Structure 1
Amino acid sequence: MQIRPIHEEDAVDVAMLAKQLGYNPTAQTVLPNIHAILENPAHQAFVYLNEQEQIVGWVHVFVALRLGSLPFAEISGMVVDQDSQNQGIGRALVKQCRHWATSRGVGEIRVRCDSTREQANQFYQHIKFKQRKTQRVFVRDL
């Protein structure tokens, strides 16, 4: 078992795992995002490899800047393969994000979690995240 930074070659596995969240990416749509993450020091993504060196989880974290608050780290996405859950993988990925964020000088880590993802909400509460607020997301096509 190992956690390492994401590589370009991980695009297929990352896309496959994202489908378990209900998204429909392909390796071709994920690859430019991996490139952008690798080129931006304010972003990082990690993958979790099982004993067979298969990717069974990933997480993307970044340093968020807001005019009205101090910088903070935010987990923008995380998935653990449904057959590998409840083995400490999600906890290990979040711990890796916390270490990364601390090394960047930020003192807080946040995650936004859809209220319909009951299991994910329980997971974050279990690992000592506290719900701060409820909000709505508004979208407009450009």
Structure 2
Amino acid sequence: MSDPALKTQTTAAMRQPSGPLQDWLATLSRIDTADQARAAPRRPAEAPPAWEPRIVAPAQAAPQPEAPAPTAYEAEQDDLAALMAENMMLKNRLRLEHGRFDELQAALAEELRALRSHVQQEIDRAEELRAERDLWMARAEALAQPLFQRR
């Protein structure tokens, strides 16, 4: 490989974000390529012409300058941007989890209120049954009292 090609690959490798951001970026690039493929008009393949003119570069062509290697500052800025993006994603996920937690707490509180209401109704019903039982016991004693008295 030539020296500029080596430098280009290493800088591209250094700039690759990691973690959820990389997954997100990879998904976006797949969506973009799919959209471009869909947007490209489908034409039948054209037969190549039998003869094409040869293009000759001018003799005094100036050499192209190499792309400068990224400085430590640029690499740090890229890392900082990746961290900020990941931080925003984590904050969003945390906000969603708090929302779910609040919904779960509200549902649990409602279930507890319903359960308390049901338990209170059962306690009230039990007390009514006790009062009815006491009334029937008092009536039974009143009816049985003459049987046990001496005449």
Same fold, judged at TM 0.5 (above): no
The TM-score by the shorter chain falls in which range? under 0.3
User: Quick check: which has more Rg, 1 or 2?
Assistant: 2
Q: TM-score, normalised by structure 1?
A: 0.19
What TM-score, normalized to structure 2?
0.18
Looking at secondary structure, tell me which structure has more strand per residue.
1
Q: Which has the higher contact order (CA 8 A, sep 6+)?
A: 2
